[in-house]
Amino acid sequence: MFAEGPATGDAAWDAFAIAHAARRALPDDAVVTVDTGAHRIALAQAFEARRPRAFLQSAGLCTMGCALPLAIGYAHADRTRPV
């Protein structure tokens, strides 16, 4: 399965392994934000969002540094879900 990620020498530390570990550790209603970079591509493919609008990322233009403002904005708008 592509979402499992490519075979690497140290798969315990690649972005796919981190996405799967985060999914196991976070509650189903958690909101996850991610900055731009190669890790964002892997997380977008591998992280299983279990609710609408639960995985927030830049919609384009490779916006760097967007994860923290996204998290702050979401937490301010919806105080019932962990971000």
Neighbours of 13 (CB within 10 A): 9
Averaged pLDDT for residues 67-78: 92
What was the pLDDT predicted at 2? Answer: 46
Single-letter residue type at 36: T
Give 33's strand partners: 56
Q: How does residue 18 score in pLDDT terms, banded at 50, 70 and 90?
A: confident
Averaged pLDDT for residues 12-41: 87
Q: What is the pLDDT of residues 44-63, one digit of tens each?
A: 888 889 989 899 988 777 78
- Give the integer Cα–Cα distance in Å for 7 and 2: 11
Spatial CA neighbour of 3 closest among 46, 33, 35, 34: 46
What was the pLDDT predicted at 5? Answer: 54
Q: Which two tokens stand for residue 80?
A: 């019932």
- Radius of gyration of the chain, Cα coordinates, nearest whole angstrom: 13
